[in-house]
Amino acid sequence: MRIGCHVSIAGGIDLAPARARELGCEVMQIFSRPPQGGKGVEITSELAARFRQAMKESAIADVYIHTPYFINFASGSNRIRHGSVSVVRDELERGSLLGAKYVMTHLGSAKDLGNAEAIKKTAEMLKKCLKDYAGTTKLLIENSAGAGEIIGDSLSEIAQILSLVDDDNIAGICLDTQHSFASGYDWTDFEKTRKNIDQELGVEKIRLIHANDSQTEMGSHKDRHEHIGDGRIGTESFRNIIAMAKVNGIDMLCETEHEKVVADIELLKKLRG
């Protein structure tokens, strides 16, 4: 398993790998377009070639792409739902040009449709995203902290959606440690949480981990990342999480503030070693 963090693409997507190397990354995560909305820079064959070369020169093993924040497959608005489908499909195509291993996405909110209908609509929209898709980049669903009526705060709910879609182009999930802690999975009781994962989803469905400590208490339903060891999850819990990741070959990415992300990466490497 390799360790890295989210990296800025400011100045050009092909500059991100060198930035990742400077931070001590072995793998990295990026946005390929503005996360709040807007069109991404066209991935031309020349840009893709420069990016792939930069990945080699910087010894970054894999790149992962996070979709924009506005994705909502269960919106009451037809425009928003289908706009979300278009963006996620485009991110998969862009990822394939860049050689990205995975694109990860949140699913949206059930507040417009109610939970049962939202799950069905989410599965329907995911199928539309993947219809006739022939790229190399696979899709991951990221779990949520569960604020409001956000879909995907429980692993069993995500497992239900995966079963409804049943498409090999969805490789599994990106498990965010802070989101899961906030939605009730207590990493300080590792054996219980590991058992819950096995029962609700299966550890083999975890393809990537967002390694974030939590500013808020377990079950808070608040999305508040903290530096590794400085939050409520704690260093010892991350030692157990890393052991699970090592056995299963799951890469880990920090999404913490950059003033201390180098220290986070170094601590995770120390726990791994």
Nearest Cα residue to 63 out of 132, 6, 117: 6
pLDDT value at position 164?
97
Q: Average pLDDT, whole number, for the chain?
A: 96
219, 220, 224, 226: CA torsion to nearest 10: -50
Phi, psi of 70, rounded to the nearest 5 degrees: -85, 0
Q: List the domains of the chain with CATH numbers.
A: 3-272 (3.20.20.150)
Q: Please give the average per-residue pLDDT across 161-180, as a whole number.
A: 97
Share of the chain above pLDDT 90, in %: 95
Q: Please give the average per-residue pLDDT across 142-152, as a whole number.
A: 91
pLDDT digit string (tens) for 218-227? 999 999 999 9
Q: Please give the average per-residue pLDDT across 227-245, as a whole number.
A: 97
pLDDT digit string (tens) for 188-232? 999 999 999 999 999 999 999 999 999 999 999 999 999 999 999
Phi, psi of 171, rounded to the nearest 5 degrees: -80, -25
pLDDT value at position 258?
84
pLDDT value at position 147?
84
pLDDT digit string (tens) for 63-121? 999 999 999 999 999 999 999 999 999 999 999 999 999 999 999 999 989 999 999 99
Q: Please give the average per-residue pLDDT across 173-190, as a whole number.
A: 98
pLDDT value at position 36?
84
How far CA 111 is from CA of 14, 36, 50, 148, 153, in Å, comes to 39, 21, 43, 8, 14
Q: How far apart are alpha carbons 133 and 139 in whole angstroms?
A: 11
Provide the β-strand partners of residue 3. 252
Give the helix, strand, coil percentages of the chain, each rounded to 5. Answer: 45, 15, 40
pLDDT digit string (tens) for 5-63? 999 999 999 999 999 999 999 999 999 999 887 788 999 999 999 999 999 999 999 99
pTM assigned to the model: 0.96
Do residues 172 and 142 lie in contact, with contact meaning Cβ atoms separated by under 8 Å? Answer: no
